[in-house]
Structure 1
């Protein structure tokens, strides 16, 4: 069994690169027997300078692209966008060394320089390409890695969103109305029409507490819905249940009942930033939380069976320099509940392009004044 498990990659490619560089250096010396060592070193330095400038131009193109995502990905900081596109310390150091070799070593006097042969050009170019590889100067930038991960849908957030849907929401959402009706038969009609769905909190800080009352005192636990028992993965009668909460406004008057819970995979993202083995930064966590919301929203929008049975509530509770009130979460929930009163349910046409859940930046279309998401057009 262990033979089928892939091992971590080693340094073989680096060692082979060093061997090939040595061979190419010897070949270049053989092809240029009439020139001084200073000339050869200077030619190598010039070729490396060209390679560094070419890489910097490519990274500049990426930087311009990332500037368009400065607010959503880099907390409105162009410095972070630059660092994600270009390792300027590494490139600057290597470029400086190459320039020093080129300027400090003077050309030999009275030496005629012929046009390099094809063999000399190929050996020198290949040597410089291998130099970039061996010393890891051609590694992908964080921006490139992020783009590849999103395009190929191999982000942590993408996997968590699909796991959350397939392992939980796909099971409970189709049965939610049945459990609500069962609850009403036993305890009376508590949940009004706007509360007959699952409200899912998605904090971009990924701080998922066990008790919502600790987050906001205007959120009070009321009762649990009847359990949903499902045979799952060898577990007989596995239990799934939801909790009903009372949501109070600032005046503490008539409470609003709703079925409320966190998106539990966000807790995994938060724990990853606290585990050194995961090597997961706070900036990566924020980016992955937004991608999780975008991916989950795209998945659920393309499942007709769960339409109208859920409501995603994304909010950024970790803004730098922003002071959030003690009842920020309850206000966000009530904002969504008020907005639902003026929304018109419109069946959206099926669109194959919507399945690409990594195609655009997430935008939170939530206003203080409730407005319909769509206007009726006869």
Structure 2
């Protein structure tokens, strides 16, 4: 219930199974006729298939020609978008091999030249039939694989936007603001092992504006000093982080900096807007991909290393089947895990990073409500 079925990256099982099918088919045919004749038929069928596929690509090119002014600007780009270069190369190779086999073949009276026009017409008819009635359309799994490989999913864009436009700005300054807040307030995380931003990632994408409504054992304790950055034309744009007390079963408080991953709200709103045509199943898939993508981005980020903790959980259960304190238990479990696995970054690395950043970036302003005096901060 806590973490349900995180999808793994797709592998090459389909390719390997296709190779097995090819080998089994060839072995079966070899029991009934000579290998040379089998190769002749295979080359003939491949060439005819490539030729029929080319006819379909030309039909698609005719549609794309209508969009040359708005999409491609010239016909050559439209042709490349409609056609598969790999398919054309394979078609030319099979044509050469087919020509050599036909002119050197004298077996069993097989008249390949006389049957060639018939096979081409038949294949073109069948391929066109499949195209018209949608049998050649990619399956949902194929579409998903293409989108994941080429980073075309909604989740990829949201994850990168969340990282570049928010986490990369605020996380490197997190420890400094905690230390500054520690001098003026007692509402700070319990120990340095938990001095990081805990990011909630519910797969239901249900983001509560007040965490107290999600779980009565979560209580707001205060805010860290604001981080002010000149961003996208906005002078001194403010970024805040809230500290919460998470109570265990014995009502002992455990403080941490906690918030939802805000892009999940966009996914939730999209699934409730008919114009977005975004189903609940698609929302769940994109939420999981968002978590996977964000985790990979942050793992490879030197600026954010050690200052975040992602908390994915599946809360999309029927009402009454989920514990009212499910969220607080999940957070406490991650906090306990952090205390066991936490490794403190080397102090020399921290100082080198600060010195390098100060040489090239304008200083930021951190202001706290308890102390109105500004504090110069390092920007990363």
Fold shared per TM-score above 0.5:
yes
Separation in 1, partners of 2:261, 2:280: 18
Gaps of 5+ in 2: 1-48, 50-110, 346-380
Residue number in structure 1 paired with 2:209: 210
Aligned partner of 1:331 among 305, 318, 329: 329
CA–CA separation in structure 1 for the residues paired with 2:179 and 2:118: 81
Note the C-alpha offset of 1:281: 1.1
Q: CA RMSD in A?
A: 2.2
Q: Secondary structure at the match of 1:342?
A: helix
Task: Give the whole-Å Cα distance in 2 for the aligned partners of 1:135 and 1:320.
Answer: 40
Distance 1:320 1:189, change over 3 A: closer
Decide which of 267, 276, 283 is 2:274's aligned counterpart: 276
Q: Specify the alignment match of 2:313 in structure 1.
A: 315
The answer to whether the Cα contact below 8 Å between 2:188 and 2:256 also exists between their aligned partners in 1 is no
CA–CA separation in structure 2 for the residues paired with 1:219 and 1:335: 14
| C-alpha contact (below 8 Å) 2:187/2:255 kept by paired residues | no
Shift of 1:238: 0.5
Partner of 2:145: 147
Query: Partner of 1:90 in structure 2?
Result: none
- 1:220 pairs with 2:219: yes
Which structure would you say has the larger RCO, counting Cα contacts within 8 Å and 6 or more residues apart? Answer: 2
**Alignment partners' CA distance in 1, 2:255 and 2:300:** 28
1:156 aligns with 2:184: no
In 2, the alpha carbon distance for the partners of 1:321 and 1:150 equals 33
Partner of 1:20: none
> How much has 1:193 moved relative to structure 2?
1.4
For the residues of structure 1 that align with 2:282 and 2:230, how far apart are their CA atoms?
Answer: 36
Post-superposition shift, 1:246?
0.7
Show the counterpart of 1:25. Answer: none
- Equivalent positions of 1:252-291 (< 5 A) are 252=251, 254-291=252-289
Which of 334, 338, 349 aligns to 1:340? It is 338
How many residue pairs match? The answer is 235
Q: 2-side partners of 1:321 and 1:232: how far apart?
A: 42
Q: 1:320 to 1:151 in 2, by over 3 A?
A: farther
Distance 1:344 1:179 in 2: 20
Aligned to 1:234: 233
Equivalents in 1 of 2:242, 2:318: separation in Å? Answer: 32
- Once residues 132 and 341 of structure 1 are traced to their aligned partners in structure 2, the CA distance between those partners, rounded to angstroms, is 59
Q: Which residue of 2 aligns with 1:124?
A: 122
Deviation at 1:117, TM superposition (A): 2.5
- Which is further off, 320-329 or 215-224? 320-329
Measure how far apart 1:194 and its partner are: 2.8
SS at structure 1 position matched to 2:340? coil
Matched, 1:190 2:188: yes
Of 295, 298, 301, the match for 1:297: 295
Alpha-carbon offset, residue 189 of structure 1: 7.0
Q: Aligned-pair distance for 1:323?
A: 1.6
Q: Secondary structure at the match of 1:144?
A: helix
SS in 1 for 2:164: helix
| Cα distance change of structure 1 residues 344 and 227 upon mapping to structure 2, 3 Å threshold | closer
| Post-superposition offset of 1:267 | 0.7
Which ranges of structure 1 fall in alignment gaps of 5 or more residues? 1-50, 52-113, 348-378
Which contiguous aligned blocks of 4+ residues in structure 1 show a shift greater than 3 angstroms? 319-322
Residues 189 and 209 of structure 1: CA distance in aligned 2, closer, same or farther (over 3 Å): closer
TM-score normalised to the size of structure 2? Answer: 0.59
Aligned to 1:245: 244
